[in-house]
Amino acid sequence: MKYIIKKFNLFFFLIFLSPLICIHTLYSSEFSKSDAEICKLATSKTSSYGNVWVAVDGEYGKYVKEAFLRGLYCKTYLKATDKNICSMYINSSDRSNKFEILKWEREIKKRNIKCKKKITNSYESEFWKKNLNLEKKEEKFKITTDKEQPSLIIKFKTVKNKVGIIRGLVSDNLGIEKLLIDNESIFFDSHGKFEYSTFVPLSGLELSIIVIDKSGLETSKQVTFLRKNTNTETKLKFKKLNPLNNKKVSIKNNALALIVGIEGYKNTNGDALYADRDAVLFKDFASEKLGVPENKIRILLNDKATEQEILLSVKEWLRRSVMTNKSDVFVFFAGHGLASQDGKNMYLLPHDGSPRLLEKTAILRNELFKDIKQSNPRSVTVFLDTCYSGVTRNEEMLIAGRPIVIKVKKQTIPDNFILLSAASNEQISRPLEEAKHGMFSYFLMKGMEGFADTNNDNKITALELHEYVRENVIQQSSGLQTPELQGDGKTVLVQFN
């Protein structure tokens, strides 16, 4: 009899234990994992909110439920504001999926915030305790009979600043298991909305998008991104020259300036690009930076800059205007220069000069300096944006059949002269196309604005100005043009107040 009773008790014990064994087997995958593993499986990363819970009705939804049961928050929604959380909670309130509501209620409780809609549910509710097994049974039946493929709609697609962006919508009668873009699991909200962005190379990009529902049915689409190839060239930009910046100078009542700019010539088709623009602007720099009174500046442009007018300006106007040993004279010449065939003599070409008749129609540089010196000024500073190679600023030949480069012998200048020239004697004086000025002239005037005052003592010496111009011209010409300086480099040319 005792043996029968023992057998009977064992039978009922096994009956009692069997559901527990089944339940443990059913959830063993969740029970055996650590909190960190549960959090990793229950969340996904987004750029907007950081970590978010995966869909509860998806493949990994059981880990979300396990996280809730353990009281884990898994560092979710760290980037979301309180306003974001309340908004998502209120928008989910009318849905039948109570897990969705519970998710936001937990977050609200953790943050201790109040939303407009009163919280009515609790993750300790009867719903939570009863739903785990019932939900699985209902879903299992639906999954086995489902034949409806999930829906995948691309709502928006664009490429902006090398970034491809797509927005879309996924939906299914039973729920979405996962959304994959190029095999990467992508977050979608409770409405099925998703957004994805990625770098798009110039060659374009094709993405594979797959949405899988809970019964394993899937829908896929290919999305192609194309970038516009604008082929825009990178252009250098140079600031406009401005003689009226904040740095002022005092007027030198005895100073004079003769300015000559010749772009177009009567007897040669080779223009000196922007030479007249250089001269026009240098007139303002002469008054605003060199301190020359406006009524003591003479400017000759293009057809007004003939041999006769230039020589008369030196021999008559300059001589009559100079105060002996008191006047500082500034001469600026932008145009063509040429050297004799043997390289011994340098000439400045007036508007009506002929490259083939240099000795008869051009102005010999040494004689010009000699005539200026005879006026007995205190000092003479000459700026020559020209060269003597026989090649124009845009690299055209002034005399057909002449060698491109003539090596000119270096010449001395009078004692009280300072000469800043655009290039060495065998180089070409080039334009700065982006600024629409001669390269030498542009940096000469830019330096006079104050950029050449490297030691910030409110003075610009001839050497400081030369070094500023030389450094920039060499850089912008790729080493093909090297400005030169002759004379006393310590002489102060610009004195700011």
Report the CATH number at residue 199: 2.60.40.10
| Same domain for 180 and 114 | no
What confidence score (pLDDT) does residue 29 get?
59
pLDDT value of position 119: 47
Same-domain check for residues 306 and 436: yes
Residue 455 shares a structural domain with residue 428:
yes
Tell whether 127 is covered by a domain.
yes
Say yes or no: 448 and 487 in one domain.
yes
Residues 141 and 164 in one domain: no
**pLDDT recorded at residue 460:** 97
Same domain, 159 and 141: no
For residue 427, name the pLDDT band (cuts at 50, 70, 90). confident
Instruction: Pick the most confident of 132-136, 388-392, 396-400.
Output: 388-392
Give the integer Cα–Cα distance in Å for 405 and 391.
Answer: 8
Q: Assess whether pLDDT exceeds 50 at residue 23.
A: no
What pLDDT score does 115 carry?
84
Is 8 contained in some domain?
no
Which of 455, 340, 323, 335 is CA-nearest to residue 383?
335
pLDDT tier at 246 (50, 70, 90 boundaries)?
confident
- Lowest mean pLDDT of 102-111, 321-330, 377-386, name the range: 102-111
Identify the weakest region by mean pLDDT among 355-364, 385-394, 424-433, 473-482: 385-394
Q: Are residues 338 and 482 in the same domain?
A: yes
Q: What is the mean pLDDT of residues 96-103?
A: 72
Q: Tell me, yes or no, whether 266 lies in a domain.
A: yes
Q: Are residues 90 and 34 in the same domain?
A: yes
Average model confidence (pLDDT) across the chain: 84
Q: Give the confidence band of 21 by pLDDT, cuts at 50, 70, 90.
A: very low
421/118 Cα distance (integer angstroms): 84
The answer as to whether 14 is a domain residue is no
* Amino acid 406: pLDDT: 47
Quick one: 462 and 347 in the same domain? yes
Measured CA to CA, the distance from residue 92 to residue 4 in angstroms comes to 59
C-alpha 440: how far from chain center:
28
- pTM summary value: 0.58
Average pLDDT on 90-101 reads: 67
- Sorted by sequence, the CB contacts under 8 Å of residue 178 that are 6+ apart come out as 58, 59, 185, 211, 212
Q: Are 184 and 303 part of one and the same domain?
A: no
At residue 140, the pLDDT reads 63
Query: Taking Cα atoms as reference points, which of 334, 240, 249, 340 lies closest to residue 287?
Result: 249
Q: Which range of residues forms the domain containing residue 42? A: 25-145
Does residue 31 lie within any of the structural domains? yes
pLDDT tens, residue by residue, 137-167: 555 666 667 789 999 999 999 999 899 999 9
- 3-state secondary structure at position 218: strand
CB 52 within 8 A of CB 77: yes
* pLDDT of the residue at 91: 74
Cβ atoms of 321 and 282 within 8 Å: the answer is no
Quote the crossing angle between the two packed helices 35-42 and 61-69, to the nearest 10°: 140
Among the candidates 92, 111, 145, a domain finishes at 145
Question: What is the rounded distance in angstroms from the CA atom of residue 59 to the CA atom of residue 56?
Answer: 8
Those residues with Cβ within 8 angstroms of residue 275's Cβ, 6 or more apart along the chain or in another chain: 261, 262, 263, 334, 335, 385, 393, 438
Domain presence at residue 243: no
Count of the separate structural domains present in the chain: 3
Q: Which of 145, 175, 191 is the last residue of a domain?
A: 145
> For 420-449, what is the mean pLDDT?
91
Strand partners, 180: 185, 210
Give residue 344's pLDDT: 85
Residues 108 and 214 in one domain: no
**How much of the chain exceeds pLDDT 70, in percent?**
81
CATH of the domain at 474: 3.40.50.1460
Residue 242 within any structural domain of the chain: no
- Give me the pLDDT at residue 398, please: 54
Domain termination residue (choose one: 225, 248, 278): 225
Reply yes or no on whether the pLDDT at 418 is more than 50.
yes
Residue 120 pLDDT grade (very low, low, confident, very high; cuts 50, 70, 90): very low
Lowest mean pLDDT among 254-263, 289-298, 394-403, 455-464: 394-403
Residues 285, 372 within the same domain: yes
Between 360 and 95, where is the model more confident?
360
* pLDDT attached to residue 343: 78
pLDDT tops 70 at residue 397: no
Could you read off the pLDDT of 180-234 as tens digits, one per residue? 999 999 999 989 999 999 999 999 999 999 999 988 899 999 999 999 876 666 6
Query: Residue 14's CB: how many other CB atoms inside 10 A?
Result: 10
pLDDT value at position 59? 82
pLDDT per residue over 449-469, tens digit each?
A: 999 999 999 999 999 999 999
Separation of alpha carbons 323 and 331, rounded Å: 16
Q: Distance between CA atoms of 258 and 333, rounded to whole angstroms?
A: 8
Q: Does residue 231 fall inside a structural domain? A: no
pLDDT of residue 315: 95
What is the reported pLDDT for 14?
39
